[in-house]
Structure 1
């Protein structure tokens, strides 16, 4: 049965002349660099949510040793999260053709018999299962998240975090076992054919184009995806080229509030009666008790301005907008924190969707650019941008910049 050419377990079943160690090695080396960057930027992105502010921001309980690297997320530079997440998402989309080509090139190995010829071979097969399964899981869930298709059986952040570590475990073992051979195979590029191995079909079909042509085809696909995604990180004409991104090609409107949003007020279940000037009140709680403030009372407090972008986990971002409002550290001062403001727990009027509340670290509260914004670009916030008040913090992921704020609790979380 193993040698029956009608079965995928037979080497004779796989007849494409493109398969071979050189083609596979080139794709593997591209993925070696690309997925390493993806893994690092993904971990950095997770750290930006300050998941140690448990249980408020913590989407991944029982991280254990996997959270060894977590650190208090900084506020400088203000574009830090925008850059990190732009690289993570754009690179992930760009690598999809490379990943698919790599999986196609090695698919015969998944059917090879016997399953394990030695301990090293057994480790390689196990690493392949973790590698292939983890890669497909991470890329599929990542693309779904970018497209705002939240069809996961749980939190995207938890699933993506654990999936990344499963993938990286297989990736590390596989690289350790295969990297030397991959480098040797690529060096044969200018010396003729690569060494024979079990990826080369024993009876190949006639070639229709070369392996270099196949690499060019894969590279062209990656370039196309890059060109139709990267624009979501910019404004103006370039954003309109991001036709594959949900916040790309569509015009967000005009005027001071004419920039990208993730959730509209209607989607979030905001009742206009709750946000009306004569009914909405902000409750600020802290060491000295609670304070209730109308929007008019907030507007009479000392107001400050900050020029800051918004960047979201899906990879889209805006250029700097001009925000004006009350500093978070001044609100902390109202409830008894004169010098060193503490962490703050922010609650929203939002009824639908994730992140109806969020926590910010003391360093984020203390930054003079961190505001409870009332205005943007010289105009009142629109309902979709968080009227009557929203949080804006430098370098923070968009979901931590809570809109439609109802309550702020300063103190130990």
Structure 2
């Protein structure tokens, strides 16, 4: 028997020898990604809408959206856990899908080296969409994970990068689904789910011939022409992918939910970190030291400036404490996916401060400015519906004690269902009116 030809280049089909590659495995992984990526895209758009970017340029981290802003709407304040659920789902699903994405890329990687690059206009479109799909997927997942772990890696640029990258990726994703979904449905219907999964053998060598006869060899997933000896079964391969996703879920989901899972959130915000105990012992995103807020800025000389039709009103913290106070149980939820449980906040209602500024009825939106010297969202705008909500406070206390310096002493904003960065800390000025 003559020796097998030597293969050294990935453009040679014989270079790829795994007996597991084939239309069935690729299709199963694709169906999982179809559901997961759809959830990611929808929750991602909702996350951008929650920032109310149409309200004021200070909130808009994705300029020149044009037609891409069609989905924006006035973000509600009910239910108060809305952003916590949305962003927790977005980040947790994204991280959980990483093993599925890598397995899917592994299953189709020979197609990236197929020659000739394009055999027809339709094939050329499919190849371009595949390149955009792979590049877009890697870009979105890598930047998303890095932002979760390294907040300051993309100072001021993460929002537009992730936003526009998502549109490129999802456009390629939709094109790919339109071209492939009918065939995937037919293949899975004909070959079944349970029967294939229960078959302990890896994809057989004659799978290539079957794929050729069905016209699927290049369409749904490449099949090895000279398969190597199997080292794992089809069931085992999917089991490893599922176990990887389950492990990432367990080490991520706890950053959003309460209970024992919070202790297992090793993938939690920026590598975790113990926020301490006591009334102020809950997660902190940015500390006073990181943003340049010093003790002298928040001492006895601090004054809150309230601007409106009646001019400027300046109040010390002691004078704020003399105003009618109210309480609200609200969480803090951030774009990185982490959130706190409901904390008990107490302070002055924003709508009461709007009345001091001259808006006795129907208070408008407000521009909030912070003492922080650097970092994103030194200024943030809130809508009129957020100002009017009776749970929206200029908080002075949390869980029965004064705010700590890292939680925004001497005063911070707390608004139901708003992203954490809109709950401005170290507030120095409130300007009610046109934004």
CA contact (8 A) 1:28 1:102 kept: yes
CA contact (8 A) 1:247 1:260 kept: no
1:272 partnered with 2:266: no
- Which of 205, 225, 230 is the matching residue for 1:207? 230
Which deviations, in whole Å up to 9, do the C-alpha atoms of 1:89-138 show, x marking residues without a partner?
00000000000110111011111111111121111111111111111111
1:159 partnered with 2:158: no
Partner of 2:430: 408
- Which of 123, 130, 142 is the matching residue for 1:140? 142
Secondary structure, counterpart of 2:153 in structure 1: coil
CA contact (8 A) 2:62 2:160 kept: yes
Secondary structure, counterpart of 1:324 in structure 2: strand
Deviation, structure 1 residue 386: 0.2
Deviation, structure 1 residue 4: 7.7
TM-score (norm 1): 0.96
The worse-fitting range, judged by mean Cα deviation, of 10-19 and 147-156 is 147-156
Partner of 1:329: 351
CA RMSD of aligned residues (A): 1.5
**In 1, Cα distance between equivalents of 2:69 and 2:97:** 26
Which deviations, in whole Å up to 9, do the C-alpha atoms of 1:335-384 show, x marking residues without a partner?
11111111111000111221111100010001010000000111100101
CA contact (8 A) 1:373 1:389 kept: yes
Partner of 1:28: 30
Give unpaired runs (5+ residues) of structure 2: 212-216
**In 2, Cα distance between equivalents of 1:281 and 1:184:** 68
TM-score (norm 2): 0.92
Which deviations, in whole Å up to 9, do the C-alpha atoms of 1:293-344 show, x marking residues without a partner?
0000011011111110110000000111110001001111111111111111
Partner of 2:79: 77
**In 2, Cα distance between equivalents of 1:355 and 1:398:** 10
Deviation, structure 1 residue 149: 4.2
**In 2, Cα distance between equivalents of 1:46 and 1:183:** 33
CA contact (8 A) 1:78 1:394 kept: yes
Deviation, structure 1 residue 151: 2.6
- Which of 108, 111, 119 is the matching residue for 1:106? 108
Q: How many aligned residue pairs are there?
A: 410
Structure 1 residue runs of 4 or more that deviate by more than 3 Å after TM superposition: 191-195, 247-250
1:368 partnered with 2:370: no
The worse-fitting range, judged by mean Cα deviation, of 394-403 and 252-261 is 252-261
**In 2, Cα distance between equivalents of 1:338 and 1:68:** 34
Partner of 2:315: 293
Partner of 2:214: none
Partner of 1:347: 369
